[in-house]
Amino acid sequence: ALTMAAVSQLPGVQATSIEHEGWTITGTKHHMMVSRCHEKPPCQETPDKPACQFCTFEKRLSFPLPEEVYPSNVLTLSHVSGASITISALGALEGIDGNSADVQVAYASEWQEARKNWTTQIDQPTDYDWTYSSNYNGSLNDGFKVEASEERIDYAQLRKPEKILLHQELFLFADDFGDNGQVTVNARIRVMPSSFLLLLRQFVRVDRVFVRVRDTRFYHKFGSNHVIREQLWLEAPTDELEKQFDGGDRRARAALYDPSQIHLLVPRLHQKLFVNERLQLPASA
């Protein structure tokens, strides 16, 4: 298994860590995973020697890997009570339904119509979601009690100027569907003296078909006994978005192709899911 301890011992891994108000927050970064196992025959995990990262992913997943995977980019938030949150590429990929073709079925006619004059066609496997749309909202250990909540993230507090104790962005995986779109998954964390905010974001664009954004935010006010987790899914057909941009905001149109500018696009998307949860820390915390 790819534990934080195992990742941090890999040669060349860059680790950043901070301890604040009972939390230890650690992020590790490393290069993109190789596209195949270099062992002959392919390596096998044993008590004395773990399998390579590629073989670990291949064993855990039932579908082809995206073009870019960053297995050592891992973010962990550990509380003194033992409760912890982990964000990783493997977790994000395990959140994909490896046996679902729902997206293909729903958009099959639009996909074929949009590409009827194209000379290159994207491969369309029928046994997995080739858009890599993930249900992942972070990995929690059993230190948390998860319950529905009406308490929202305190954005007014977050807008107040504060010293940034830690800011980090980690890329988890990406693919371009054979130059027919884009999927990116990344995580960004900001730690201030009063709180932390973690954003896990997936951006999916299938050219001339749809745009999809899936956000999960974790917010904790230091000194409180819980973390707020907000999950928001947004989506819209690209032809609908293009009509809105006719003669309009060029920057918003450019956001269709630039995930770093997605905030300009979000107000134009339709909400598909919103879940608000309270992650309760152990009573002794």
- Burial zone of 79 (CB within 10 Å; 0-12 exposed, 13-18 middle, 19+ buried): buried
69-73 average pLDDT score: 95
Q: In this predicted structure, what is the pLDDT of residue 111?
A: 46
**CB 69, CB 36: distance < 8 Å:** no
What are the φ and ψ backbone dihedral angles of 262, each rounded to 5 degrees?
A: -65, -25
Find the largest Cα–Cα distance for the chain: 64
> Tokens 């905010």, residue?
197
Q: How many whole angstroms separate alpha carbon 174 and alpha carbon 183?
A: 5
Contact 207, 238 (CB under 8 A): yes
Percent of the chain with pLDDT over 70: 82
Quick one: average pLDDT of 69-86?
96
From the list 134, 118, 93, the residue with the least C-alpha distance to 209 is 118
Give which of 107, 148, 154 is closest to 129, Cα–Cα. 107
Residue 239 contacts residue 208 (beta carbons within 8 Å) = yes
DSSP state of 45: -
Q: Between 138 and 256, where is the model more confident?
A: 138
Place of tokens 């039932």: 62
Q: Which of 72-76, 172-176, 221-225, 262-266 has the lowest mean pLDDT?
A: 262-266
Least confident of 146-155, 209-218, 242-251: 242-251
Note the pLDDT of residue 99.
62
* DSSP state, residue 50: P
Encode pLDDT of 39-51 as tens digits. 777 787 777 777 7
Which residue(s) pair with 136 in the sheet? none
Which two three-digit tokens encode residue 285? Answer: 């915390």
Give the tens place of pLDDT for each residue, 95-125.
Answer: 997 665 455 434 545 544 554 544 344 445 4
Q: How far apart are the C-alpha atoms of 57 and 45, rounded to whole Å? A: 12
What would the pLDDT profile of 3-27 be if each residue is shown by its tens digit?
444 444 555 788 999 999 999 999 9
Mean pLDDT, rounded, for 61-75: 92
Q: How far apart are CA 73 and CA 175, in angstroms?
A: 17
Instruction: Specify the range with the lowest mean pLDDT, choosing from 54-68, 78-92, 176-190.
Output: 54-68
- Residue 40 has what pLDDT? 73
pLDDT at 213 over 70: yes
Residue 165 pLDDT level (bands cut at 50, 70, 90): very high
pLDDT at 242: 81
